[in-house]
Amino acid sequence: MDDVMKNLPESIRKLTEDKPYETNDFGKSGSLVRIYDDFVLKIEEERPGIAQMVNVMQWLDGKLPAPKVLATEVKDGYRYLLMSKVRGRMACDEYYMTRPEELVTLLAEALKMLWSVDISDCPKTFDLKAELEEAKYRIEHNLVDLEDVEPETFGEGGFNNPEELLQWLYDHQPEPDPVFAHGDFCLPNVFFEDGKVSGFIDLGDAGIADRWYDIALGYRSLKHNADGTYGKYYEGVKPDDLFGKLGIEPDWERIKYYILLDELF
Protein backbone atom coordinates (compact mmCIF):
# COMPACT_ATOMS: atom_id res chain seq x y z
CA MET A 1 0.00 0.00 0.00
CA ASP A 2 3.01 2.34 0.29
CA ASP A 3 3.09 2.81 -3.48
CA VAL A 4 -0.62 3.57 -3.45
CA MET A 5 -0.10 6.35 -0.91
CA LYS A 6 2.73 7.83 -2.98
CA ASN A 7 0.36 7.87 -5.94
CA LEU A 8 -2.38 9.97 -4.31
CA PRO A 9 -4.62 11.85 -6.76
CA GLU A 10 -3.85 15.57 -6.67
CA SER A 11 -7.36 16.54 -5.50
CA ILE A 12 -6.93 14.38 -2.39
CA ARG A 13 -3.28 15.24 -1.82
CA LYS A 14 -4.18 18.94 -1.57
CA LEU A 15 -6.68 18.24 1.22
CA THR A 16 -4.55 15.80 3.23
CA GLU A 17 -0.95 16.91 2.74
CA ASP A 18 1.02 17.56 5.95
CA LYS A 19 -1.99 16.80 8.16
CA PRO A 20 -1.50 14.36 11.06
CA TYR A 21 -3.30 11.02 10.87
CA GLU A 22 -3.62 7.56 12.37
CA THR A 23 -3.81 4.32 10.41
CA ASN A 24 -6.82 2.14 11.26
CA ASP A 25 -6.94 -1.56 10.37
CA PHE A 26 -10.24 -2.24 12.20
CA GLY A 27 -12.42 -4.64 10.21
CA LYS A 28 -11.90 -7.15 7.42
CA SER A 29 -12.18 -5.05 4.27
CA GLY A 30 -8.50 -5.21 3.33
CA SER A 31 -8.52 -1.49 2.62
CA LEU A 32 -6.14 1.16 3.89
CA VAL A 33 -7.79 3.68 6.20
CA ARG A 34 -6.20 6.90 7.41
CA ILE A 35 -8.03 8.86 10.09
CA TYR A 36 -7.38 12.61 10.23
CA ASP A 37 -8.81 15.15 12.67
CA ASP A 38 -11.76 16.06 10.47
CA PHE A 39 -11.93 13.43 7.73
CA VAL A 40 -11.12 9.84 6.80
CA LEU A 41 -9.27 8.57 3.73
CA LYS A 42 -10.11 5.06 2.54
CA ILE A 43 -8.19 3.36 -0.26
CA GLU A 44 -9.10 0.02 -1.79
CA GLU A 45 -9.10 -1.79 -5.09
CA GLU A 46 -11.85 -0.46 -7.33
CA ARG A 47 -14.83 -2.75 -7.87
CA PRO A 48 -18.35 -2.07 -9.21
CA GLY A 49 -19.76 -2.27 -5.69
CA ILE A 50 -17.45 0.49 -4.46
CA ALA A 51 -18.66 2.96 -7.08
CA GLN A 52 -22.21 2.07 -6.08
CA MET A 53 -21.38 2.67 -2.42
CA VAL A 54 -20.12 6.16 -3.25
CA ASN A 55 -23.38 6.86 -5.10
CA VAL A 56 -25.38 5.78 -2.05
CA MET A 57 -23.25 7.93 0.26
CA GLN A 58 -23.78 10.97 -1.94
CA TRP A 59 -27.51 10.22 -2.11
CA LEU A 60 -27.65 9.99 1.70
CA ASP A 61 -26.27 13.52 2.14
CA GLY A 62 -28.81 15.35 4.32
CA LYS A 63 -30.87 12.22 4.95
CA LEU A 64 -28.79 10.50 7.64
CA PRO A 65 -25.77 11.30 9.82
CA ALA A 66 -23.34 9.51 7.53
CA PRO A 67 -19.92 10.46 6.15
CA LYS A 68 -20.06 13.15 3.47
CA VAL A 69 -18.01 12.48 0.33
CA LEU A 70 -15.40 15.25 0.15
CA ALA A 71 -13.41 13.90 -2.80
CA THR A 72 -13.15 10.63 -4.67
CA GLU A 73 -11.08 9.41 -7.61
CA VAL A 74 -10.04 6.16 -9.22
CA LYS A 75 -6.37 5.91 -10.12
CA ASP A 76 -4.40 2.89 -11.33
CA GLY A 77 -7.12 0.50 -10.22
CA TYR A 78 -7.62 1.96 -6.74
CA ARG A 79 -10.51 3.97 -5.37
CA TYR A 80 -9.47 6.92 -3.19
CA LEU A 81 -12.34 8.12 -1.04
CA LEU A 82 -12.01 11.12 1.28
CA MET A 83 -15.01 11.59 3.54
CA SER A 84 -16.01 13.57 6.59
CA LYS A 85 -15.40 12.00 9.98
CA VAL A 86 -18.30 10.73 12.08
CA ARG A 87 -18.16 12.01 15.65
CA GLY A 88 -18.86 10.09 18.83
CA ARG A 89 -18.10 6.62 20.15
CA MET A 90 -18.79 3.23 18.61
CA ALA A 91 -21.83 1.47 20.04
CA CYS A 92 -19.45 -1.24 21.31
CA ASP A 93 -17.46 1.27 23.34
CA GLU A 94 -17.21 0.24 27.00
CA TYR A 95 -19.14 3.36 27.99
CA TYR A 96 -22.25 2.01 26.24
CA MET A 97 -21.64 -1.68 26.91
CA THR A 98 -21.76 -0.89 30.64
CA ARG A 99 -24.99 1.08 30.17
CA PRO A 100 -27.20 -1.55 28.49
CA GLU A 101 -30.47 0.37 28.77
CA GLU A 102 -29.00 3.38 26.96
CA LEU A 103 -27.21 1.15 24.44
CA VAL A 104 -30.30 -0.82 23.40
CA THR A 105 -32.44 2.33 23.29
CA LEU A 106 -29.96 4.05 20.96
CA LEU A 107 -29.54 0.97 18.75
CA ALA A 108 -33.32 0.87 18.28
CA GLU A 109 -33.27 4.59 17.50
CA ALA A 110 -30.54 3.98 14.91
CA LEU A 111 -32.65 1.33 13.16
CA LYS A 112 -35.68 3.61 13.15
CA MET A 113 -33.56 6.39 11.60
CA LEU A 114 -32.51 4.07 8.79
CA TRP A 115 -36.10 2.95 8.19
CA SER A 116 -37.31 6.56 8.07
CA VAL A 117 -35.33 7.28 4.90
CA ASP A 118 -37.54 7.57 1.80
CA ILE A 119 -36.40 4.76 -0.52
CA SER A 120 -38.38 5.83 -3.60
CA ASP A 121 -35.26 6.98 -5.47
CA CYS A 122 -32.57 5.01 -3.63
CA PRO A 123 -29.81 4.10 -6.12
CA LYS A 124 -29.19 0.60 -4.77
CA THR A 125 -31.32 -2.44 -3.92
CA PHE A 126 -30.04 -5.52 -2.13
CA ASP A 127 -30.37 -8.46 -4.54
CA LEU A 128 -30.71 -11.68 -2.55
CA LYS A 129 -30.37 -13.88 -5.63
CA ALA A 130 -27.12 -12.12 -6.57
CA GLU A 131 -25.94 -12.48 -2.98
CA LEU A 132 -26.58 -16.22 -3.11
CA GLU A 133 -24.65 -16.47 -6.37
CA GLU A 134 -21.77 -14.63 -4.70
CA ALA A 135 -21.98 -17.07 -1.78
CA LYS A 136 -21.82 -19.94 -4.28
CA TYR A 137 -18.69 -18.44 -5.83
CA ARG A 138 -17.10 -18.06 -2.41
CA ILE A 139 -17.80 -21.70 -1.55
CA GLU A 140 -16.46 -22.94 -4.90
CA HIS A 141 -13.24 -20.94 -4.42
CA ASN A 142 -12.73 -21.88 -0.75
CA LEU A 143 -13.24 -18.30 0.44
CA VAL A 144 -15.59 -19.12 3.34
CA ASP A 145 -13.82 -18.84 6.70
CA LEU A 146 -15.15 -21.81 8.66
CA GLU A 147 -13.31 -20.59 11.77
CA ASP A 148 -15.41 -17.43 11.86
CA VAL A 149 -18.92 -18.87 12.13
CA GLU A 150 -21.45 -19.51 14.88
CA PRO A 151 -20.53 -22.77 16.70
CA GLU A 152 -23.92 -24.32 15.91
CA THR A 153 -23.89 -23.57 12.17
CA PHE A 154 -21.93 -26.66 11.11
CA GLY A 155 -21.56 -30.10 12.65
CA GLU A 156 -23.91 -31.93 14.99
CA GLY A 157 -27.35 -30.32 14.87
CA GLY A 158 -26.28 -27.96 12.10
CA PHE A 159 -25.35 -28.18 8.43
CA ASN A 160 -22.87 -30.74 7.16
CA ASN A 161 -20.99 -28.24 5.01
CA PRO A 162 -21.33 -24.80 3.32
CA GLU A 163 -22.88 -26.41 0.22
CA GLU A 164 -25.76 -27.78 2.29
CA LEU A 165 -26.24 -24.40 3.97
CA LEU A 166 -26.32 -22.67 0.59
CA GLN A 167 -29.00 -25.03 -0.68
CA TRP A 168 -31.07 -24.31 2.45
CA LEU A 169 -30.69 -20.58 1.79
CA TYR A 170 -31.88 -21.04 -1.80
CA ASP A 171 -34.89 -23.05 -0.58
CA HIS A 172 -35.97 -20.66 2.19
CA GLN A 173 -35.69 -17.18 0.68
CA PRO A 174 -37.96 -14.82 2.69
CA GLU A 175 -40.39 -12.32 1.21
CA PRO A 176 -38.70 -8.97 1.96
CA ASP A 177 -40.12 -6.06 3.93
CA PRO A 178 -38.18 -3.32 2.10
CA VAL A 179 -36.67 -0.37 3.96
CA PHE A 180 -33.42 1.56 3.76
CA ALA A 181 -30.90 -0.76 5.41
CA HIS A 182 -27.31 -0.29 6.51
CA GLY A 183 -26.37 -3.78 5.28
CA ASP A 184 -23.78 -4.37 8.01
CA PHE A 185 -25.58 -3.13 11.10
CA CYS A 186 -23.07 -4.17 13.73
CA LEU A 187 -22.03 -2.17 16.79
CA PRO A 188 -18.67 -0.86 15.44
CA ASN A 189 -20.54 0.76 12.52
CA VAL A 190 -22.94 2.83 14.65
CA PHE A 191 -21.80 5.88 16.61
CA PHE A 192 -23.41 7.70 19.53
CA GLU A 193 -22.72 11.05 21.15
CA ASP A 194 -24.51 13.06 23.85
CA GLY A 195 -27.35 10.57 24.10
CA LYS A 196 -28.06 10.57 20.36
CA VAL A 197 -27.17 8.58 17.26
CA SER A 198 -24.30 10.59 15.75
CA GLY A 199 -23.47 8.56 12.67
CA PHE A 200 -23.16 5.42 10.58
CA ILE A 201 -19.98 4.20 8.88
CA ASP A 202 -18.97 1.38 6.47
CA LEU A 203 -21.93 1.81 4.15
CA GLY A 204 -20.67 -0.51 1.42
CA ASP A 205 -23.77 -2.70 1.61
CA ALA A 206 -26.30 0.06 2.29
CA GLY A 207 -29.45 0.28 0.18
CA ILE A 208 -32.99 -1.06 -0.04
CA ALA A 209 -33.22 -4.39 1.78
CA ASP A 210 -35.40 -6.45 4.08
CA ARG A 211 -35.98 -4.77 7.45
CA TRP A 212 -34.93 -8.01 9.16
CA TYR A 213 -31.48 -8.03 7.56
CA ASP A 214 -30.25 -5.19 9.78
CA ILE A 215 -32.18 -6.49 12.79
CA ALA A 216 -30.53 -9.91 12.46
CA LEU A 217 -26.98 -8.62 12.19
CA GLY A 218 -27.57 -6.03 14.91
CA TYR A 219 -29.03 -8.64 17.26
CA ARG A 220 -26.04 -10.96 16.70
CA SER A 221 -23.55 -8.12 17.14
CA LEU A 222 -25.17 -6.97 20.37
CA LYS A 223 -25.14 -10.55 21.68
CA HIS A 224 -21.50 -11.25 20.83
CA ASN A 225 -20.18 -7.90 22.04
CA ALA A 226 -21.65 -8.75 25.45
CA ASP A 227 -21.15 -12.53 25.81
CA GLY A 228 -17.36 -12.71 25.73
CA THR A 229 -17.01 -13.66 22.05
CA TYR A 230 -14.68 -10.68 21.55
CA GLY A 231 -12.84 -11.17 24.82
CA LYS A 232 -15.01 -9.30 27.29
CA TYR A 233 -18.27 -10.11 29.05
CA TYR A 234 -20.74 -7.36 29.95
CA GLU A 235 -23.41 -8.13 32.48
CA GLY A 236 -26.94 -6.87 31.99
CA VAL A 237 -26.97 -6.66 28.19
CA LYS A 238 -30.10 -8.45 26.97
CA PRO A 239 -30.29 -8.57 23.15
CA ASP A 240 -33.98 -9.51 23.24
CA ASP A 241 -34.72 -6.09 24.74
CA LEU A 242 -34.08 -4.66 21.28
CA PHE A 243 -37.45 -5.91 20.06
CA GLY A 244 -39.28 -4.17 22.88
CA LYS A 245 -37.52 -0.90 22.08
CA LEU A 246 -38.52 -1.33 18.43
CA GLY A 247 -42.10 -2.20 19.38
CA ILE A 248 -42.11 -5.39 17.30
CA GLU A 249 -42.25 -9.13 17.85
CA PRO A 250 -39.10 -11.00 16.78
CA ASP A 251 -39.31 -12.94 13.52
CA TRP A 252 -36.85 -15.67 14.41
CA GLU A 253 -37.06 -17.36 11.02
CA ARG A 254 -35.87 -14.24 9.20
CA ILE A 255 -33.28 -13.51 11.87
CA LYS A 256 -31.94 -17.04 11.46
CA TYR A 257 -31.94 -16.72 7.67
CA TYR A 258 -29.86 -13.54 7.50
CA ILE A 259 -27.39 -14.67 10.14
CA LEU A 260 -26.88 -17.92 8.22
CA LEU A 261 -26.48 -16.02 4.96
CA ASP A 262 -23.78 -13.90 6.54
CA GLU A 263 -21.88 -17.04 7.60
CA LEU A 264 -20.80 -17.46 3.97
CA PHE A 265 -19.24 -13.98 3.75
Nearest to 42 by CA among 54, 31, 52, 55: 31
With contact defined as beta carbons under 8 Å apart, do 265 and 135 qualify?
yes
Q: Catalytic annotation on 241?
A: no
List Cβ<8 Å contacts ≥24 apart for 15-18: 15/39, 15/70, 15/71, 15/82, 16/41, 16/82
Catalytic residue among 61, 145, 184, 210: 184
Residue 239, C-beta contacts closer than 8 angstroms, at least 6 positions apart: 219, 222, 223, 226
Round to the nearest angstrom and report the end-to-end CA distance of the chain: 24
Q: How far is CA 2 from CA 32, 71, 73, 191, in A?
A: 10, 20, 18, 30
* Residues annotated as part of the active site: 184
